[in-house]
A and B are shown apart, each in its own frame.
Chain A
Amino acid sequence: MTDTVSTERPAQAQVNAEMMEPSPGTLLRRRIFGHAGFMIGAVVLGTIFLMAILAPVISPHDPYDQVLARKLIPPIWHESAKATWEHPLGTDHLGRDYLSRLFHGAQISLLIGFAAMLISGVIGTTIGVLAGYFGGRVDMVVNFIVTTRLSMPVVLVALAVVSLVGSSLTMVIWVLGLLIWDRFAVVMRSATQQVRNLDFVTSAQAVGCSTPRIIFAEIMPNIANSLIVIATIEMAHAILLEAALSFLGLGVQPPEPSWGLMIAEAKGMMFFDSWLIVIPGTALFALVLAINLLGDGLRDVTAPENRN
């Protein structure tokens, strides 16, 4: 396009310029693929997710199968005659294949992280949006509930409650889910407050839309991006808490291959066989880091101020 064309037919020039511009979808894709943190997080999380789903297929051994004759075989990179490709990551103190346990442990971490995040997300978003939308007394009550929740130490209360109601996978999920909704509530409250006085909400009210309709059709889509970011943070938080609980012996119970529990079981042998804590610890670290990177990336990619 030349200048002469644009001065002669300005309307056509504008259309052409608009056609030259990439579509919003292309722009979003470019931002996603241009964001290193997001890509790294997505690839690592994707790998761990595949490990978890395919665990029954790709595991070389049964994760519960104890072969005492083959206990404490070091991983293959270890300079030891005992290291063998039959157990690439070695075996633990009961002769269980570490790689298979690692794969199956990914299932537990992801399941607990996702389920606890879902429970806490529903609770926190509900009370946060209500507080932000209605304000006034509702806001005061929600504020009080959140303050009360924050004043109770999470790890301690989680441990105490799990010890009283009995520790099982389901219980750990429920206890964590019922404890960590505070950040959802706080962030959703302020996000709703920002949106609720905008013109489109006011006009929806003026047209006579019902409150549930306004909340679900007008407000929720506009706070969804902060919701997704908090969801990733809380999923990482839940995974770390489960690992800590299992590490202290009150989370997932043996012989389940939880990564936190694997570290706890290996604690006594770390003086001689340090790989036993290095491997599950690195897996845990990689998973949480990937989720955090993905969350940070999502925030950057979806934030309206980064669209240009």
Chain B
Amino acid sequence: MLVFAVKRFGVAVLVALTVSILSFSMMYLSGDPAIALAGEGSSQEDIENVRRVYGFDRPIIVQYGDWLWNALHGNLGHSNYLKSDVASVIFERLPTTMLLGACALGFALVLSIPLGVVAAIRPNSLIDRVALTIAVIGQAMPSFWFALTMILWFSITWRLLPITGTDSWKNFIMPSIALGYYVTPAVMRLTRAGMLEVLSSDYIRTARAKGLRPMTVLFKHALRNAIIPVVSLAAVQFGFMLGGSIVIETIFAINGLGFLAWESILRADLPMMQAIVLVLSVFYIFLTFFADMLNAFLDPRIRVA
């Protein structure tokens, strides 16, 4: 287990370093960052000044090392637009996005696990087919359009839910559904496949032969084992949702990281963009790392491989 963990952690750190190089190089995508910062039509002297003050005159490798060193110490740079420390703004907004992600994941799991279980108990039944149809239809719906359609019905036609803001729990209902429904088909299929496999195994037959109640067999014996792969899928999807929340947060004006990302992209606030990409990626990398560890802990067969 320890060897597996150390190896896996080493890969995670390497991936994180590669991502940091990629997000650092975003600065040079649009050409000379000094010209971009000084603004259009500024004199050569101004540009040289900017270049010296921001340190763009140093070799790129030194700039990257400096940037990484600062990032590792929690200093993600200074926002060009907000004129404040990037890290503090990000960590101020992060909890909202985390909360949204958690609600969305909760919605997805509550919907998809029971559906997957029912579909596995009666494969090819009406419920199974309906669940699969919903999955196919759901995956074809653009999330932003789904969100707008919900607003149209629940907020405008029936006046049940608030459209924007984060004042009460009611504000989180529509965004969570809009963000979470996309994950449901995957979780449902995995639960269904896992349950089908487990239900045909010997120990389930033994449990049934002992005369245990069907519900006990289903939930205590079967679901426990069938759910293991769902744990790591849920972790991975949570990471994806944080990245995908940019669309949903923009629509519902939720003041989280996604909205911040959109604002800083529109303002061409490069340090902020770089930092958000870095933070979300690193978060995802370590999320999948912990998911793998949890999986290996739950399922001893994985540790050997």
Contacts and interface: CB of A to CB of B under 8 A. Distances in A.
Interface of A: 144, 147-148, 150-157, 159-161, 163-165, 236, 240, 243-244, 247-250, 260, 263, 267, 270-271, 274, 277-278, 281, 284-285, 288-289, 292-293, 296
Contacts of B137: 289
Contact of A244 (B143, B152, B268): B143
A156 B243 contact: yes
Contact of A159 (B18, B19, B239, B262): B262
Contacts of B29: 161, 164-165
Given A147-B11, A244-B142, A293-B136, A161 B26 contact: yes
A60 B15 CA distance: 53
B22 interface: yes
Interface string B257-285: 01001100110100001001100110011
B277 A156 contact: yes
Interface string B217-261: 000000000000000000000011011101100100000001001
B141 A144 contact: no
11 contacts: A148-B18, A153-B244, A155-B243, A156-B277, A156-B280, A164-B29, A243-B145, A249-B266, A260-B144, A271-B156, A285-B145
Contacts of A163: 265-266, 268
Contacts of B43: none
A293 B140 CA distance: 10
B32 to A, nearest CB: 12
B109 interface: no
B281 A151 contact: yes
Contacts of B143: 244
Given A144-B18, A157-B277, 9 more contacts: A151-B288, A155-B247, A159-B265, A160-B277, A164-B30, A165-B30, A244-B142, A289-B136, A296-B136
B124 interface: no
Interface string B91-127: 0000000000000000000000000000000000000
B148 interface: yes
Contacts of B22: 148, 152
B246 A284 contact: no
A154 B243 contact: yes
A284 B280 contact: no
A144 B11 CA distance: 8
Nearest first, the 7 A-B pairs at minimum CB distance are A153-B243, A289-B140, A281-B145, A288-B140, A164-B30, A164-B29, A148-B18
A153 B284 contact: yes
B42 interface: no
Given A144-B11, A144-B15, A160-B277, A270 B148 contact: yes
Given A163-B265, A285-B140, A153 B156 contact: no
Contacts of B284: 150-151, 153
Contacts of A277: 145, 148-149, 152
B142 A153 contact: no
B206 interface: no
Chain A interface helix/strand/loop/mixed:
helix
A159 B244 CA distance: 11
B240 to A, nearest CB: 7
B280 A160 contact: no
Contacts of B140: 236, 285, 288-289, 292
B88 interface: no
B9 to A, nearest CB: 13
A270 B151 contact: yes
Nearest to B262: A248
Given A148-B19, A248-B250, A153 B240 contact: yes
Given A160-B273, A160-B277, A163-B268, A248 B247 contact: yes
B247 A247 contact: yes
Contacts of B148: 263, 267, 270, 277, 281
Interface string B129-161: 000000011011111110011011000100000
B14 interface: yes
Nearest to A166: B30
Interface in B22-40: 22, 26, 29-30
Given A151-B281, A247-B247, A285 B151 contact: no
B243 A270 contact: no
A269 B156 CA distance: 12
Nearest to B153: A274
A156 B264 CA distance: 11
Nearest to A274: B152
B136 A292 contact: yes
A263 to B, nearest CB: 6
Contacts of A144: 11, 14-15, 18
A157 B240 CA distance: 12
B143 to A, nearest CB: 7
A289 B138 CA distance: 9
